[in-house]
């Protein structure tokens, strides 16, 4: 793992506190989306499909601070849209850092060279820069040539200026394990803290629906990646059990309240990825009124094939807390890349649909 000890200790103390207090549902990462406007139109993005009146909306500094305080999570991820477009983003980041929350400021890096002077290096601030693979793959993913080179230049600049830098990599159709492994090798040469890696979620509002990897393909891809990567010491910013889950070795349901989302509509139900399930006016309302049992890969068709870290990392962390020896063993040996994968349960929504089909019995 590439996460610094200070952050590990702080987050660990938060988790222990929740356990000691007997809290069953608690947030781990606040997904703070202060705008949807972006300067790219990526093929697999389901976040920017809104009219201009929505794209022009912004959360204020005060609204962002209130969300951080309401939620109480130790980590705040600021995705978008493109956060660097927000004119008050430096003030928002500074305010969250002052609260000693760990901020991951997500960016495609097109504006970072211009905007970096507005930010101050801090152990609580990480630029999480979007790179979906090597040059050809990334530029294809974001539907614009030259973006990869700009992002790499921005990574080097941010590291030179003393910032923590992470790469956020989303995988889509057509990628081979070797291609991803080669990218991870390259990413390590940049001097970044680590890589966050996850299969893309099949957003209903994404402009291209044929780019997403689904089902066993995801697990086969990651098994291949991890097999190639044995001994290569990639710094992947995930728990060992989440990586083992990606390789098809853990049977998990998501923990949607682990990464609650605050955006221009309010507190989004039930998670960061599903956008049409309604919104709450406050964090407490989100937690109390969301029908959590209606969501999950086996419970809701919209969640089918989702293995995104914003849904399952919290599950893996909870599993590690409950079974520390298992977590330690996986951490020491790495994800298993051979043998049977965990069985896929019959989705409950399919079973419900089958139960609703009338059965005609011929007694003759």
Helices 309-322 and 5-21: angle between axes, nearest 10 degrees: 70
Q: Do you know the residue count of the chain? A: 364
Specify the pLDDT at position 205: 60
pLDDT tens for each residue of the chain, 364 residues long: 578 899 999 999 999 999 999 999 999 999 999 999 998 888 777 677 889 999 999 999 999 999 999 999 999 999 989 999 999 999 999 999 999 999 999 999 999 999 999 999 999 999 999 999 999 999 998 999 999 999 999 999 999 999 999 999 999 888 999 999 999 999 999 999 999 999 987 666 656 666 678 788 999 999 999 999 999 999 999 999 999 999 999 999 999 999 999 999 999 999 998 988 999 999 999 999 999 999 988 888 888 888 999 999 999 999 999 999 999 999 999 999 999 999 876 777 665 554 555 555 555 5
pLDDT at 201: 77
Thinking of the domain 5-355, which architecture would CATH place it in? Answer: Alpha-Beta Barrel (3.20)
Tell me the C-alpha distance between 74 and 140, whole Å: 34
Q: What is the pLDDT of residue 364?
A: 52
Side-chain half-sphere CA neighbours of 151 within 13 A: 27
Cα separation, 177 vs 134, whole angstroms: 13
Cα separations in angstroms, 98 against 4, 91, 103, 203, 206:
18, 10, 11, 34, 36
Q: Count CB neighbours of 176 within 10 A.
A: 12
Q: What is the pLDDT of residue 13?
A: 96
Report the pLDDT value the prediction gives residue 353, as an integer from 0 to 100.
54
Collect all residues with Cβ–Cβ distance below 8 Å to 279 and sequence separation of at least 6: 265, 266, 267, 268, 269
**Could you tell me where the DSSP H helices lie in 101-172?**
112-115, 135-141, 147-160
What pLDDT is attached to residue 345?
Answer: 65
- The torsion defined by the Cα of 9, 243, 337 and 194, in degrees rounded to 10, comes to -70
Q: What is the largest CA-CA distance in the chain?
A: 83
What pLDDT score was predicted for residue 23? 95
Q: What is the pLDDT of residue 148?
A: 97
Residue 247 CA to residue 198 CA, distance in Å, equals 11
Rounded distance between C-alpha atoms, residue 270 and residue 259, angstroms: 9
């Amino acid at each position: 793992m590439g996460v610094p000890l200070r952050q590990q200790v702080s987050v660990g103390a938060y988790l222990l506190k929740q356990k000691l207090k007997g809290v069953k549902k608690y947030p781990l990462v606040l997904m703070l989306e202060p705008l949807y406007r972006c300067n790219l139109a990526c093929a697999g993005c389901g976040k920017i499909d809104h009219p201009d009146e929505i794209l022009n909306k912004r959360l204020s500094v005060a609204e962002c601070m209130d969300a951080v305080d309401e939620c109480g999570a130790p980590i705040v991820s600021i995705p978008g849209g493109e956060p660097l477009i927000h004119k008050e983003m430096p003030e928002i980041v500074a305010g969250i850092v002052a609260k000693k929350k760990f901020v991951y400021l997500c960016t495609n890096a097109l504006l970072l060279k211009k905007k970096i002077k507005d930010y101050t290096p801090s152990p609580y601030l990480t630029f999480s820069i979007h790179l979906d693979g090597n040059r050809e793959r990334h530029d294809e993913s974001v539907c614009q040539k030259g973006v990869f080179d700009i992002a790499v230049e921005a990574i080097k600049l941010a590291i030179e200026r003393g910032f923590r830098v992470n790469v956020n990599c989303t995988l889509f159709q057509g990628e081979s394990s070797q291609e991803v492994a080669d990218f991870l090798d390259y990413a390590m040469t940049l001097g970044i803290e680590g890589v966050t890696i996850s299969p893309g979620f099949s957003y209903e509002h994404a402009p291209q629906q044929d780019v997403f990897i689904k089902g066993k393909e995801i697990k086969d891809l990651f098994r291949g990646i991890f097999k190639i990567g044995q001994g290569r010491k990639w710094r992947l910013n995930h728990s060992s059990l989440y990586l083992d889950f990606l390789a098809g070795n853990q049977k998990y349901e998501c923990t949607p309240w682990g990464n609650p989302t605050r955006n221009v509509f309010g507190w989004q139900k039930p998670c960061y990825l599903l956008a049409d399930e309604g919104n709450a006016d406050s964090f407490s309302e989100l937690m109390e009124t969301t029908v959590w049992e209606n969501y999950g890969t086996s419970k809701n068709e919209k969640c089918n094939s989702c293995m995104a870290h914003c849904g399952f990392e919290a599950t893996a962390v909870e599993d590690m807390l409950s079974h520390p020896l298992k977590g330690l063993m996986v951490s020491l040996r790495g994800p298993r890349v051979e043998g049977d994968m965990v069985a896929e349960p019959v989705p409950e929504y399919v079973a419900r649909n089958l139960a609703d089909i009338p059965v005609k019995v011929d007694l003759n």
